[in-house]
Chains A and B, each alone.
Chain A
Amino acid sequence: MALTPITTITTLDTPHAPSARLPAVRWGTAGTALLALALAPLVLDGYYLHALIIAMIFLPPAHGLNLILGYTGMLSLAQGVFFGIGAYASALLSTHFGTPFVLNLVAASLIAALIALPLGIPALRLRTTSFVMCTLGFVVIAQMVAKNWVDLTRGDMGLSGVARPKIGFGDTTLAITQIPQYFYLILVVAVLATLAFIALIRSPAGRCMVAIRDNETLAESLGIPTWTYKLIVFMLSAAFAGLGGSLYAHYETVVSPLVFQMYYSNTILIIVLGGGVGRVPGAIIGSFLFVAVTEALRVTPELRMILYGFVLLLLVFVFPQGVAPLIERATEKLSRLGVKQEKSL
C-alpha cells in the first residue's frame, strides 16, 4: 500500500449512539442557513452580497471536486479546466448567438462534460500521483489553447460583453442587472446544484462510489464496474465545474485565458479540503469560509497573501479533515440537549 487512503468518518466518533433527533437537527441547521442566505439581500449591502455570490459561483465546481476526490478518491486539479470551458462556452454562445441564460448554463455543463470524456479515458488509467500531474497538464494545455486559438477565443483580448441574464416566463422577462437580483439567481442555481449533488451521493450509485474510494479492488470484485464509474464521475464533476464557469461568465461579463490560471483550480481544491472532503456540507462550508477569509484579509493588502498561506498551513495541520467535522460535532451536541445520557456499552 503506497498511499494512505483518504480517511473519512462516515460514522460519528462518539461513544454514544447518535441521537434520533440528529437528522432533524442537521436539516434544521441547513434550513436556517438557507433562510439566512435568502434574507441576506435585505440586510447586507452590495459588497457582502458580491462576496457571497463568489462563494456560490465556486460552489458547484467544489461539489464536483468533492465528488471526484471525496467520494471516488481521485485528486483532480482539472476542475479549473472545466470551469474555464464552461465560462468560454457560455461567453461564446452569448456573444455570438445571444442565447438565453438557462440555455447557456445547460450547454456549458454539457460541453464541459463532453470534453471531459476524451480527457478522462486515458487519464483515469493512471495512479494517483500520475493522475494529478495529468490533470495539471490539462490546465496548462487549456490555457495555451485559449491564448492561441484566436479565431475562437480572441486570445488574450478575451471575450467581453457577455449578456446579463434575462429570465423569461411567458410574456414577462426579468433582466438581471443588479447585485441582489444576481444573488437570488445564483442562489437558486447553487441550491439546485447542491440538491443534485446530494441526490447523487445518496443514490445506490453514490454508495458504489464510496466503495471504490475505500477499496477499489474489493469493489471490483463485488461486480462494480469501477472504470465506468470513475469515468462517469469525472464527467459529472466536469459538468458541475462547467456550471460554475457559466455563472462566472454571466456575472463578470468578461472571459479571458486568465480563467485557466492555476488560481481557480487551487481555490476549488482549498475549498473542498478546507470545508471537508467526503462530506455533504464540505463544499458548502468551504466556499463560504474561503470567501470570508480572502475578503476579510483585504484589510491588509500587503500581508493578505502571506496570511492566506498561513491559513492553508493551518488547514493542513490543525484541520486536516476540514472544518465540517466541527460543525457536525456541534450539531450532534445540539441534538442531545436535554436527552438523558445513556452509558456506552
Chain B
Amino acid sequence: MGNFGNFIFEQIVNGVITGSTYALIAAGMTMIFGVLRAINFAHGEYYMLGTFAAWYAISKLEVNYVVAIVLGVAAAALIAATIGRFVMQRLVGAPFQAGVLATIGISLILQNAVILAFGGGYKVFEGGWIEPVEFFGFGMAQQRIVLVVSAVAIFAGLEWMVRKTRMGKAIRAVSQNIECCQVNGIDVESVVRRTFLLGTALAALSGVLTAPVNVSVYGGMGESITLKTFAVIVMGGMGNVRGTLLAGILLGVVEALVSGLIGLQYRDSVGFIALLLMLMLRPHGLFSQKARF
C-alpha cells in the first residue's frame, strides 16, 4: 500500500475504534427514545457517572479494573433506576418539551452534584489495559481492541434480546404503538423504566471502557457526549438500534478522515453537517425505511 493509502487505512481503523464507542452510547439513547419518545439530554451524564464511580473504586477503594467496571456500571444504574422511577416514567405521554426540560434539569443536577462531591478538579483514571499492541503496523492500546469487541458483542446481545426475549418484544411493542400496549395490558411504565436502565447502563459501560484511554475524569465530561450522540441517533434512524451501530462507526470513520485530512477543529461539525444533510435528504435516517418522527 502506498503511503497515502496506508494513511487512509490507519484513519479508517482510528474511526472504527472511536465509532464503536459512539455506537454503544447511541444504542442506549435510541432505545430510550423508542419507548419514551423523549430525547435524553442527560444521557452523557450517565457516561460520566459510570466513569466516576469506576475511578472512585480504583483510586479510593483500590479494586482492580474489572471489579471497577462492575461497580461503575452498578453505581450508575442505581442512580438511573431512581431517576427512572421518579422522573422518566412520569414522562410517558407527556409533551415533547417536558422531556427536554426534565432531562436538562437532571443533567444539571447530576453534573453539579458530582462537582460538589468530588471537586471540580480533573482526575486521572488509573487502570485498564493501556499497554500498546501492534495492529496492522499501527500502535494501539489493548483497551481499544477490548472496546471494539465489546461493542460488537453488546450489539449482538441487544439484537438477540430484542428478537428473542420477552423484554425485547415488549420494547419493540412500546416503541411501535404505546396506546395499543396500554390497551393490551403491557405495563408500559415498567418497560420504560427497564429500557431506561438498560440504555443508561450502556452509556455508563462505555464510559468505563473508554476511561483508560481517555484518561480525564471530571464532572462536565458528559456534555459533549450527549450532543454528539444526538447526531448518531438521527443518522441511524431514531429508535433503530442496528442503525446506530452502523451510523456510529460511519461517523467515527468520517470524523477521523476529516481530522486527518483537513483539521481536528472541524471534527464535531462533521456529525452535525451530516445530521443536517440527513434531515434534509433522508429524514428517516440512513438505515430506516420510513420516517416516523
Contacts and interface: CB of A to CB of B under 8 A. Distances in A.
Interface of A: 2-7, 69, 75, 122-123, 125-130, 132-134, 136-138, 140-141, 144, 147-148, 262, 266, 269-270, 273, 277, 302-306, 308-313, 315-317, 320
Contact of B268 (A5, A125, A140, A302): A140
Nearest to A5: B95
B25 to A, nearest CB: 16
Which of A122, A303, A312 has most B Cβ within 10 Å? A312
A127 B293 contact: yes
Interface stretch (B70-78, B144-152, B195-203, B274-282): B274-282
B49 interface: no
B90 A134 contact: no
Contacts of B292: 2
Contact of B104 (A75, A129, A266): A266
Most chain A Cβ neighbours within 10 Å, of B97, B269, B291 = B97
Shortest 3 CB-CB contacts between residues of A and residues of B = A312-B105, A309-B108, A309-B109
A130 B279 contact: yes
Nearest to B110: A309
Contact of B100 (A269, A305, A306, A320): A269
A140 B269 CA distance: 7
8 contacts: A6-B97, A75-B96, A130-B283, A141-B273, A144-B272, A306-B109, A311-B105, A315-B101
Given A4-B95, A309-B107, A309-B108, A137 B102 contact: no
Nearest to B42: A309
A3 B87 CA distance: 19
A313 B90 contact: no
B32 interface: no
B230 A305 contact: no
A3 B106 contact: no
B144 to A, nearest CB: 27
B48 interface: no
A75 B94 contact: no
Contacts, number: 131
Interface range on chain B: under 10, 10 to 19, 20 to 34, or 35 or more?
35 or more
A312 B101 contact: yes
Nearest to A1: B179
B100 to A, nearest CB: 7
Interface string B257-293: 0000000011011001101100110010000000111
B251 interface: no
Interface of B: 33, 37, 39, 87, 90, 93-98, 100-102, 104-109, 111-113, 116, 227, 230-231, 234, 238, 265-266, 268-269, 272-273, 275-276, 279-280, 283, 291-293
Most chain B CB atoms below 10 A, which of A126, A128, A130, A137: A137
A288 to B, nearest CB: 18
Q: What's the dominant secondary structure at chain B's contact region? A: helix
Given A133-B275, A140-B269, A302-B116, A309 B106 contact: yes
A9 to B, nearest CB: 14
Nearest to B273: A141
Contacts of A129: 33, 37, 39, 96, 238, 293
A84 to B, nearest CB: 16
A309 B112 contact: yes
B268 to A, nearest CB: 7
A147 B265 contact: yes
A69 B17 CA distance: 40
B102 A134 contact: no
B227 A312 contact: no
A281 B164 CA distance: 52
Given A2-B37, A134-B275, A148-B265, 8 more contacts: A125-B283, A126-B283, A129-B96, A130-B293, A132-B39, A136-B227, A309-B112, A312-B102
B80 to A, nearest CB: 16
Contact of A130 (B94, B107, B234, B266): B234
B105 A316 contact: yes
A316 B98 contact: yes
B102 to A, nearest CB: 4
A5 B39 CA distance: 17
Nearest to A274: B101
A80 to B, nearest CB: 13
A310 B279 contact: no
B98 A320 contact: yes
Contacts of B293: 2, 127-130
B279 A133 contact: yes
A305 B108 contact: yes
Contact of A6 (B39, B95, B100, B111): B95
B112 A75 contact: no
B277 to A, nearest CB: 9
Contacts of B283: 125-127, 130
Given A3-B37, A310-B109, A316 B279 contact: no
Contacts of A320: 94, 98
A142 to B, nearest CB: 10
Nearest to B231: A137
Given A126-B279, A132-B96, A312 B104 contact: yes
Contacts of B96: 3, 75, 128-129, 132
A277 B102 CA distance: 16
Contacts of B230: 133, 136
A130 B111 CA distance: 27
Contact of B266 (A2, A4, A144, A270): A144
B37 A305 contact: no
Given A130-B283, A133-B230, A313 B87 contact: yes
